[in-house]
């Protein structure tokens, strides 16, 4: 999992009280790296996300910066710019400041499956600072050893070069600690704060809280963490998981609530799909290849399908899932982010703000969804390979008789010159046959196709289709029509295939 975060517009505007250095250059997927790996000037680094998935990481400012000299002693201009000085200054300071990362909700699904593995991947790649500690926080009672044991089960060496993996894992686990507490107890967070302090010692300390918890307790945690466990010498930041509210009112209320305790530039809203390799590649594919961009409109594209499916159900996550459902869990964030990236106009630059502006224009051009363009469903019990899997409402964590959708399909339309009339078909479901996520772009028929006879009456077979397979087995392929080699004129479909595993 890549820690890719969306930034609100105000974030780029400047630092709040706890952000003492200017922000680094923003980018489309602002992520957290804690040291600048590789070249000193290179803000972009790569940390491995999913299996074989690399995600670019942008550095976030580190320690308190010393005053930048705008002039040298003799009063003439300095040979380096203020920006360059700050870069150099932070490189010196980076090594000395500490970063303490608290995963709130550490006993949960996301923490186990994604956050700890992603942090380990950053560690393996040398992208965490020299002085870092990781704290798990949740109500469940656990010792440090039990946390390490739990975390170690999901840490794999998901990286190309796997040398010293087990040594690295041991080192990493030694820096993970656990603190049990309530989410609304300032006292419990104060105790956490003391524990953090013991580990960071006298150096400048930065605190990051990753809220891997159900959204209804975000505010309690932010209040307690900011009052009782924020950093006094460095920055304090909070990563907020989706879904960010249930609707626009609750989302606005959440923002208002968070801003009682944090400034905008301390808040990082995350959508982990933006860190997936193929989602990142979407804009590269489109804007850096001459062949695709001219086709990217209603003139050539018949429909676009955004598909997410999982072959497992809620499995004990019903407490969270049932209040949100598949539309808020997957469509409103992951698939809508992909749609916006897919459909946006060329941004004026790759800066986060410019990309965001184009995405917002797409969202604002969308036609309100009509009920008749939506289908919803809920999975029932089924048997596969002799094993019976429970239906949604048979999950003990799901309220009896729940009508929450676990499947939804919707046709969305963008009322602008580029996309007028083109359906964007979203489909998302849990407990389906396969686990996959893909974008399918179906092109129009070739007008007056000379060869349509060779395909019989199934015109669908004759159209080109571009498939961007986000997961599993990442790849991009273009279905094209081809003559079958040999005598006669028989046509066939072939794939022009970019298979990531083969690269």
Ligand X SMILES: NC(=O)C1=CN([C@@H]2O[C@H](COP(=O)(O)OP(=O)(O)OC[C@H]3O[C@@H](n4cnc5c(N)ncnc54)[C@H](OP(=O)(O)O)[C@@H]3O)[C@@H](O)[C@H]2O)C=CC1
Of the pair 147, 466, the CB lying nearest ligand X is at 147
Residues sharing a CB contact under 8 Å with residue 314, sequence separation 6 or more, in sequence order: 321, 322, 392, 395, 397, 398, 406, 430
Token readout for 383 is 């048997």
For the segment 298-317, give every residue that binds ligand X (CB under 6 A): 317
- 334 among known catalytic residues: yes
Which of ligand X, ligand LXAUTJHC, none binds 108 (CB below 5-8 Å, type-dependent)?
ligand X
Which residue from 131, 272, 427, 469 is in contact with ligand X, where contact means CB under 6 A? 272
Map 230-274 to HEC letters. CCCCCCEEEEECCCCCCCHHHHHHHHHHHCCCCCHHHEEEECHHH
Distances (CA, A) of 179 to 115, 144, 182, 191: 17, 8, 10, 8
Residue nearest to ligand LXAUTJHC (CB): 329
Residues sharing a CB contact under 8 Å with residue 162, sequence separation 6 or more, in sequence order: none
Site string for ligand X, 349-388 (x = CB under 6 A): ----------------------------------------
Which of ligand X, ligand LXAUTJHC, none binds 215 (CB below 5-8 Å, type-dependent)?
ligand X
Contact criterion met (CB below 8 Å) for 188 and 224: yes
Place of tokens 């407490």: 319
Of the pair 123, 320, the CB lying nearest ligand X is at 320
How many degrees, rounded to 5, is the angle at CA 204 between CA 201 and CA 208?
95
CB of 326 to ligand LXAUTJHC, least distance (A): 8
Token readout for 105 is 């909700």
For the segment 110-139, give every residue that binds ligand X (CB under 6 A): 110-111, 113, 138-139
Closest-CA residue to 104 (of 263, 12, 218, 4): 218
Which residue from 265, 329, 465, 474 is in contact with ligand LXAUTJHC, where contact means CB under 6 A? 329
CB of 217 to ligand X, least distance (A): 5
Of the pair 113, 433, the CB lying nearest ligand X is at 113
For the segment 211-270, give every residue that binds ligand X (CB under 6 A): 212-215, 217, 241-243
Which of ligand X, ligand LXAUTJHC, none binds 90 (CB below 5-8 Å, type-dependent)?
none
Of the pair 109, 354, the CB lying nearest ligand X is at 109
Q: What are phi and psi of 145, to 5 degrees?
A: -65, -40
CB of 105 to ligand X, least distance (A): 4
The number of helices, as runs of H, and strands, as runs of E, in the chain is 12, 20
Which of ligand X, ligand LXAUTJHC, none binds 87 (CB below 5-8 Å, type-dependent)?
none
Q: Is the peptide bond before 274 cis (omega within 30 degrees of 0)?
A: no
| Residue in 131, 179, 207, 334 annotated catalytic | 334
Distances (CA, A) of 9 to 13, 267, 272, 356, 454: 7, 11, 19, 8, 53
CB of 426 to ligand LXAUTJHC, least distance (A): 15
- Residue 171 CA to chain centroid, in angstroms? 26
For the segment 413-472, give every residue that binds ligand LXAUTJHC (CB under 6 A): 437
In eight-state DSSP terms, residue 314 is -
CB of 109 to ligand X, least distance (A): 4
CB of 50 to ligand LXAUTJHC, least distance (A): 7
Q: At what angle do helices 165-174 and 116-124 cross, to 10 degrees?
A: 120
Whole-angstrom Cα distance, residue 216 to residue 254? 9
Of the pair 169, 274, the CB lying nearest ligand X is at 274
Q: Under the criterion CB under 6 A, does residue 474 sit at the interface with ligand LXAUTJHC?
A: no
Active site residues per annotation: 334
- Residue ranges that bind ligand X, judged by CB under 6 A: 105, 107-111, 113, 138-140, 183, 212-215, 217, 241-243, 272, 317, 319-320
- Residue ranges that bind ligand LXAUTJHC, judged by CB under 6 A: 272, 310, 329, 437
């Amino acid at each position: 999992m890549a820690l890719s975060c969306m930034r609100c517009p105000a974030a780029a505007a400047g630092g709040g009280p706890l952000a003492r250095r200017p922000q680094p250059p923003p980018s489309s997927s602002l992520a957290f790296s804690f040291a600048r790996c590789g070249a000193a000037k290179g803000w972009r680094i790569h940390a491995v996300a999913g299996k074989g998935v690399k995600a670019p990481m942008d550095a976030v400012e580190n320690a308190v910066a010393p005053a930048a000299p705008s002039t040298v002693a003799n009063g003439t201009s300095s040979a380096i710019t203020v920006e360059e000085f700050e870069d150099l200054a932070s490189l010196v300071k980076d090594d000395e400041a500490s970063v303490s990362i608290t995963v709130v909700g550490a006993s949960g699904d996301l923490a186990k499956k994604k956050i700890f593995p992603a942090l380990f991947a950053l560690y393996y790649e040398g992208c965490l600072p020299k002085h870092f500690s990781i704290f798990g926080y949740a109500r469940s009672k656990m010792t440090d050893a039990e946390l390490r044991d739990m975390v170690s089960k999901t840490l794999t060496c998901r990286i190309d070069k796997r040398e010293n993996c087990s040594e690295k894992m041991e080192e990493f686990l030694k820096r993970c600690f656990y603190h049990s507490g309530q989410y609304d107890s300032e006292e419990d967070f104060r105790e956490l704060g003391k524990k953090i302090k013991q580990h960071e010692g006298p150096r400048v300390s930065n605190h990051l809280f990753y809220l891997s918890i159900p959204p209804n307790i975000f505010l309690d945690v932010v209040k307690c963490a900011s009052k009782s466990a924020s950093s006094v010498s460095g920055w304090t930041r909070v990563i907020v998981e989706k879904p960010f509210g249930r609707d626009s009112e609750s989302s606005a209320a959440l923002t208002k609530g968070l801003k009682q305790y944090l400034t905008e530039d301390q808040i990082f809203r995350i959508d982990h799909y933006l860190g997936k390799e193929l989602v990142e590649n979407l804009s590269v594919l489109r804007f850096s290849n001459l062949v695709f961009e001219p086709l990217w409109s209603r003139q050539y594209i018949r429909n676009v399908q955004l598909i997410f499916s999982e072959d497992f159900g809620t499995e004990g996550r019903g407490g969270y899932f049932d209040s949100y459902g598949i539309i808020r869990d997957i469509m409103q964030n992951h698939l809508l982010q992909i749609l916006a990236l897919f459909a946006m106009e060329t941004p004026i630059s790759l800066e986060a703000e410019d990309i965001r502006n184009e995405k917002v224009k797409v969202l604002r051009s969308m036609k309100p969804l009509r009920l008749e363009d939506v289908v919803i469903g809920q999975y029932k019990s089924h048997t596969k390979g002799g094993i019976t899997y429970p239906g949604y409402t048979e999950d003990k964590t799901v309220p009896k008789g729940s009508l929450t959708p676990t499947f939804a399909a919707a046709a969305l339309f963008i009322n602008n010159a580029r996309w007028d009339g083109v359906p964007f078909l979203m489909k998302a479901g849990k407990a389906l046959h396969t686990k996959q996520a893909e974008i399918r772009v179906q092109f129009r028929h070739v007008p007056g196709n000379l060869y349509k006879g060779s395909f019989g009456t199934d015109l669908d077979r004759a159209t080109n289709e571009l498939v961007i397979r986000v997961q599993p087995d990442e790849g991009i392929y273009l279905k094209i029509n081809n003559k079958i080699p040999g005598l006669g004129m028989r046509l066939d479909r072939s794939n022009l295939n970019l298979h990531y595993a083969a690269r």
